[in-house]
Amino acid sequence: MSTVDAKQVLNDYGIKTSSVGGAIKQIGDVIDDSRDPLSLSNSIINQLGGIDQYDLVSAKILAKALIEQAMTQDTYDIEKATKVAEGKLDKIRKDMPYVFAKADEEQPQQAPKPSSSGDKKVKAQAIFNANKTLSNGEIAKLIQTELNITYSNAYYYTSRVFKR
């Protein structure tokens, strides 16, 4: 099995080796601030002897766990480090499955809100802009029909709110 210079990996990512908790937080911040957090997490995992992950949450957990092992082991043992890190990942999967839930799964679907006047104004503006060749009265009729508002309100949009 190949060897890994864990201290060099820590140095490569600018990890301060004063505390394990600080190092884990620091690598988490580096990952979060990255343009491609999944690739960076997998790069850390690979450099410390682990196997790529296909979802960001797993990759971040495994990268942090391997950083922890790099900090705590006197001589970095790839087999031991990956076994401990994968065990932590499995424990989190079992004990805290909500950590892996997708954003849309966390919140139940809510009914769409009724349109507010601001929404109608935006829609009316779009209708107005798409039909500038028509007269204000013709555009007002389109807005009235589309937004289910009175003709006078629709005409107000075309003559006062939106300028030609």
Mean pLDDT, residues 16-32: 87
Q: Are 21 and 14 in contact (CB under 8 A)?
A: no
Token duo for residue 162: 């939106």
Q: How confident is the model at residue 38 (pLDDT cuts 50, 70, 90)?
A: very high
Long-range CB contacts for residues 110-117, cutoff 8 Å, separation at least 24: 115/147
CA distances from 18 to 15, 32, 60, 71, 114 (A): 9, 21, 21, 9, 54
Q: Tell me: the pLDDT tens digits for 115-126?
A: 556 688 888 888
Q: Which residue has the higher pLDDT, 82 or 17?
A: 82
Residue 53 has pLDDT above 80, yes or no: yes
- Tell me: pLDDT of 15 over 70: yes
Share of the chain above pLDDT 70, in %: 87
pLDDT score for 13: 86
Q: What is the mean pLDDT of the chain?
A: 85
Is the Cβ–Cβ distance between 69 and 7 less than 8 Å?
Answer: no
Once rounded to an integer, what is the mean pLDDT over residues 128-145? 88
Q: What three-state secondary structure class fits 49? A: coil
3 — pLDDT class (breaks 50, 70, 90): confident
Which of 88, 42, 39 is closest to 68 using CA atoms?
Answer: 88
Instruction: Tell me what percent of the chain is helix, strand and coil, each rounded to the nearest 5.
Output: 70, 0, 30
pLDDT band, residue 105 (cuts 50/70/90): very low
